[in-house]
Structure 1
Amino acid sequence: MHFAALAALAAAAAAPVSAFYLPGSAPRDYKPGDQVDVFVNTVTPLLNATLRSLISYDYYDPRFHFCQPEGGPVKQAESLGSILFGDRILSSPFDIKMGEDVKCLTLCRSKVPGNDAKFIHDRIREDYGLNFIIDGLPGAELKKDSRTGEQFLDGQGFLLGLHGYNGIGSDDKPALNNHYDIYIEYHKRAENKIRVVGVMVYPRSVDSIVAGEETPNCNREGKPLYLSETADNQFLYTYSVQFRESDVVWSLRWDSYLHVFHPKIHWFSLINSLIIVGFLCFMVSAVLYRTISKDISRYNQVDLADDVQEDYGWKLVHAEVFRQPQRPMLLAVLVGNGFHLAGMTLVTLMFALLGFLSPSNRGSLETVLLICWTLFGCVSGYVSARVYASIGGDQWKPNLVLTAVLFPTIVFTIIGVLNLLLVFTGASGAIPFGTILVILFMWFLISVPLTVAGYFFGMKHGGWSNPVRTNQIPRQIPPCPWYLKPVPAAILCGILPFAAAFVELYFMLSSLFGNRAYYAFGFLFLTFGVVALTTATVTILFTYFILCSEEYRWHWRSFLVGGGASFWVFVYGLYYWARNLSLGSLTSVVLYLGYLLLASLLVFILLGSIGATASWWATRRLYSAVRVD
């Protein structure tokens, strides 16, 4: 259920009970003449035809020479997730009063040197955009979906300037947008209770300085503002404000922003995935049930004439199948951290699905992800302890340490390297040092102790017993076909889970790199379930095949096959880069590949743990059903 629907139900129930609002989502009532604050966020590249950069800049970066409020900009309080994902919200010099229309007011006079003009031109060519926030709503342009004809507010921002294909100016001579037409839609509940329900900003480029006149002229048609790269430039930033009454109530104001692009594709992809996974599960279950039932019946049937039974197929390795795998500690650590990620993902998706992660509360999704990651350390400790005991591990101290620190260290190292790159380039998306300390505090003082507690709880329960004994001497393994070897099998088997999610993956990448809010959590929740079920089914089938070929080293193979979809995620990320991105700097390329590598690693560990667990369950059920003489 979307947040808007929950808010509507809360409003309808306000008479008999006391309503409450989630943090950051409470409405604000204005009176006529009240100050309407305008906040500014980072200057970010926009996803138009292509995305040309991944580096964001602080709005008050001195090279932009934007107008500043008297006394300097004031930083606004932000959530931890908002900071991590690049929000830097500051006050602005706009003076807007509720209900008072104004035209062509001067914001400030700006002076831009030639070197900074070149910097601004480069950002215009890369389709950078500005982000205004009024009453929690992003300043947006009203656009029309070419496929559905539906009008919506594009909340990713508006262009810094115009060049080439997108209007006035050319790639050689970009025009800077220095005038903002701001339209504020409001809903009037009572005479002194006015609520903002929509914000639209339309930028224009106009050389508003007229020789001999003191007031600017914002309506000079055919007079865009061009900056010189060889001399100083002086010009005016101006703005106009118009208020419009609207019938839209406050609880539904986000509906215009939450536009679902290609809704039929979402449904087609989901239905197609459900059909595929349903057919796959049915076929695999039917085939395995018929085959294994016959095998079990034959194996359990003793020849009374000579009392001899010859083993063949998967029963040949019954005394080897639960032999300790290579690097058992690492396997237990990875499976434990995979369950950690799975629990974090499920809980976050459920919160988002129920509407608790309001888009008006910026960074709420990322904050919940971080909190869940911190609190679910007990899951990784518990699972790692039991898995390690089940596969015969006895060095519990190093296993506990690795469970608590190995995976977070790898992730923090990758993020730290990318963050240093952002710091050196002067990007606003670099994580502040104070935020890094907060995350380390959450890790060492909350997550690690919970992991230790979960580990000792898992040790108390011990490992799972094996249904058959293991021989002292390992059995010789015959050569297996190439398609059952670890790497080819992981690549081939990873196609099906990836095929169930690749359409949704496109929208997630567009949201992550294109500065667009992702809100199709219903589709994402079902897609996650389909992918998990497909991964488990494919891995069980593969494990059966390798056991039939007398290959009993299935532990690591099942993990690799389960995580095989991560290979296709990385490949699809490269395709998305070639198709939708036009990154012009080495820094942006390194950032994209680093984020893509991190995402693929998370998918590998998450789905690998699902595959390994499913194979473990199926193998135990299989060998507990046969009689071993």
Structure 2
Amino acid sequence: MGVVSMVSAAVVSLLLWFAGVAADASDHRYKINDPVPLYANKVGPFHNPSETYRYFDLPFCSSEEVKDKTEALGEILNGDRLVDAPYKLYFRVEQNSKLACKKHLTKDEVAQFRSAVTKDYYFQMYYDDLPIWGFIGKVDKEGKTDPNDHKYYLYTHIHFDVYYNNDRVIEINVRTDNNAMVDLTEDKEIDVDFFYSVKWKETDTPFERRMDLYQQSSATAHHLEIHWFSIINSCVTVLLLTGFLATILMRVLKNDFVKYAHDEESADDQEETGWKYIHGDVFRFPKHNSVFAACVGSGTQLFALATFIFILALVGVFYPYNRGALFTALVVVYALTSGIAGFTATTLYCQLEGTNWVRNLLLTGCLFCGPLFLTFCFLNTVAIAYNATAALPFGTIVVIVLIWALVTSPLLVLGGIAGKNSKAEFQAPCRTTKYPREIPPLPWYRSTIPQMAMAGFLPFSAIYIELYYIFVSVWGHRIYTIYSILFIVFIILLIVTAFITVALTYFQLAAEDHEWWWRSFLCGGSTGLFVYGYCLYYYYARSDMSGFMQTSFFFGYMACICYGFFLMLGMVGFRAALLFVRHIYRSIKCE
């Protein structure tokens, strides 16, 4: 318990340190006429959530020198680039059609605004850490299908409705005035006056519940009903299928135990058949034991990462629009759990009679971070070419490298040293023969690829409905807040993955195929391949994303996520299969 509490304390403290405070230095209490911070964040095409730009990359006007807000690591990773907004909203001071600034738009700036309006650009701001959105303009098609006949308008008047309770801001809504627009259809210079108005209203909602509004928008009765329907559907499907397979498997195993016990009592020279026949080969260590141990170690770390993230989510750390908290948690927790990967991989590698544990440790450290780093380098280059906010500044990259060098790597090495010194031996209930038996010819459907397809389909079907809500949250503008349901889905996924891997391992051993080590890992992780296949369906059938940058970000980062899924669930499948194989061979007499 002491180690767990120390790790938990370290996670929370580092999370708070790297995340900073989503709010400003104030305590969110204001007096009448006090300035309340309003920051302009970013703009971008509504259907391309990764393609966002700085607010003033569009030729908006500013009444004074633009000042950037100091941001925490998670905010930068989230693509936030906050600057002082051109509007001044003082606490409980109403304003009507106040002039923010005047702007003379050149022909190029008019064309730039028109292009943004065509792509449904939206803006995002934060007022006292409350998010607000709005579109910068609209396209008037007037029933005409030819784009050359469309009219393009820029909104010039923004109205803010702010709700307060005593000395605190509770809620803010923004809307644009359709009667205050500038025609951008023609390429000509124009003068634009940007106005804003503010109206204050009192509310009884306490400050502690002001984020509930954003939770309720994503957890309406209709959405909750669909969520729970998907959970019930998954549970029923899983219970029926796993119950059916469990019944068959238990009966077959029972018959096997009775048969083998009878064979031992009757004829000693009787030829053995089935999975008992290969008892001298079933614990023969797998080929490429270093890669295998690294895969299991990395999968164990990612499983620990997912567990800690769920704990933080269930205790309320990731409340809506806690800017960058999730990204900060992923970076910090991954760094702190690297010792788990080192310990697990090195321990298993030494148990598998490996000798070069240092090379195994380096492989473990690079197995997941390597592909992720290469993907990041490519996508960050794309973001730089687009001048998008997704491009990380050099200073942020240095911070991440320092975290990897000063936290991740030392903990990985310490975990590896602890694993090497653990002196744990592989527990095999049967002696392994000197020479391996030849595996009999097997039908095509018992080969690795068909088995992986069978193993991945059932777990994927259990999470299929929930995947849509996760995707529209990660790659859209909907907020996902029902982490309890997601945690239940995660537990179901683990149970189904473990069980289907055990069942397929039994059928493999019954066919006298003793090379189950890699097969169990690949079958367990095959769900990650199904999830990536779902990415193709979602992108082309369920979303309106487009453009090279958005496509690259979607498929690039989803490839990394699915690869992590593959390693984590592969580890779960292998561990479940290992427990099963040890159990059945411990239950019979093997000479």
- Given the two structures, how large is their TM-score scaled by the length of structure 1? 0.85
Which of 268, 272, 276 is equivalent to 1:315? 276
Alignment correspondent of 2:317: 356
CA gap of 1:620–1:447, structure 2 versus 1, over 3 A, is same
Provide the C-alpha distance between the structure 1 equivalents of 2:102 and 2:257, rounded to a whole number of angstroms: 86
Alignment correspondent of 1:91: 84
* Structure 2 residue 34 is matched with structure 1 residue 38: no
Provide the C-alpha distance between the structure 2 equivalents of 1:380 and 1:235, rounded to a whole number of angstroms: 59
Q: Which amino acid aligns with 1:233?
A: I
Alignment correspondent of 2:578: 616
Alignment correspondent of 2:212: 255
Aligned residue pairs, count: 563
Q: Is the 8 A contact 1:490 1:564 kept in 2?
A: yes
Q: Is the 8 A contact 2:100 2:195 kept in 1?
A: yes
- Shift in Å, 1:229: 4.8
Alignment correspondent of 1:466: 428
Provide the C-alpha distance between the structure 2 equivalents of 1:39 and 1:363, rounded to a whole number of angstroms: 16
Q: Aligned with 1:398: secondary structure?
A: helix
Q: Is the 8 A contact 1:27 1:250 kept in 2?
A: no
Provide the C-alpha distance between the structure 2 equivalents of 1:456 and 1:289, rounded to a whole number of angstroms: 41
- Shift in Å, 1:45: 2.9
Which of 185, 194, 211 is equivalent to 2:163? 185
Provide the C-alpha distance between the structure 1 equivalents of 2:404 and 2:466, rounded to a whole number of angstroms: 31
| RMSD of aligned residue pairs (Cα, Å) | 2.2
Provide the C-alpha distance between the structure 2 equivalents of 1:168 and 1:28, rounded to a whole number of angstroms: 49
Alignment correspondent of 1:576: 538
* Structure 2 residue 111 is matched with structure 1 residue 112: no
- Shift in Å, 1:101: 1.0
- Shift in Å, 1:321: 1.1
Which of 195, 199, 202 is equivalent to 1:242? 199
Alignment correspondent of 1:414: 375
Q: Which amino acid aligns with 2:455?
A: C
Alignment correspondent of 1:381: 342
4+ runs deviating over 6 angstroms: 165-170
* Structure 2 residue 460 is matched with structure 1 residue 498: yes
Provide the C-alpha distance between the structure 1 equivalents of 2:443 and 2:587, rounded to a whole number of angstroms: 28
Provide the C-alpha distance between the structure 2 equivalents of 1:457 and 1:303, rounded to a whole number of angstroms: 43
CA gap of 1:464–1:23, structure 2 versus 1, over 3 A, is farther
CA gap of 1:201–1:240, structure 2 versus 1, over 3 A, is same
Provide the C-alpha distance between the structure 2 equivalents of 1:101 and 1:313, rounded to a whole number of angstroms: 83
Provide the C-alpha distance between the structure 2 equivalents of 1:255 and 1:417, rounded to a whole number of angstroms: 38
Alignment correspondent of 1:68: 62
Q: Is the 8 A contact 1:162 1:169 kept in 2?
A: no
* Structure 2 residue 518 is matched with structure 1 residue 534: no
Q: Is the 8 A contact 1:53 1:585 kept in 2?
A: no
- Shift in Å, 1:169: 12
* Structure 2 residue 569 is matched with structure 1 residue 607: yes
Which of 38, 55, 59 is equivalent to 1:59? 55
Q: Which amino acid aligns with 1:231?
A: K
Q: Which amino acid aligns with 1:182?
A: F
Q: Which amino acid aligns with 2:250?
A: Y
- Shift in Å, 1:110: 1.7
Q: Is the 8 A contact 1:178 1:206 kept in 2?
A: no
Alignment correspondent of 2:286: 325
Provide the C-alpha distance between the structure 2 equivalents of 1:591 and 1:317, rounded to a whole number of angstroms: 48
CA gap of 1:367–1:472, structure 2 versus 1, over 3 A, is same
CA gap of 1:125–1:43, structure 2 versus 1, over 3 A, is same
* Structure 2 residue 588 is matched with structure 1 residue 626: yes
Provide the C-alpha distance between the structure 1 equivalents of 2:247 and 2:351, rounded to a whole number of angstroms: 30
Provide the C-alpha distance between the structure 2 equivalents of 1:442 and 1:585, rounded to a whole number of angstroms: 33
Provide the C-alpha distance between the structure 2 equivalents of 1:164 and 1:566, rounded to a whole number of angstroms: 44
Alignment correspondent of 2:134: 158
Q: Which amino acid aligns with 2:54?
A: D
Q: Which amino acid aligns with 2:258?
A: S
* Equivalent residues in 2 for 1:430-441, closer than 5 Å: 430-441=391-402
> When you count helix as a share of all residues, which structure comes out higher?
2
Unaligned segments of structure 1, at least 5 residues: 1-21, 140-156, 189-193, 208-223
Q: Is the 8 A contact 1:81 1:364 kept in 2?
A: yes
- Shift in Å, 1:498: 1.0
Q: Is the 8 A contact 1:174 1:226 kept in 2?
A: yes
Q: Aligned with 1:163: secondary structure?
A: strand
Unaligned segments of structure 2, at least 5 residues: 1-19
Q: Is the 8 A contact 1:536 1:614 kept in 2?
A: yes
User: Cα deviations across residues 140-161 of structure 1 (Å, max 9, x unaligned)?
Assistant: xxxxxxxxxxxxxxxxx22121
CA gap of 1:246–1:136, structure 2 versus 1, over 3 A, is same
CA gap of 1:198–1:169, structure 2 versus 1, over 3 A, is farther
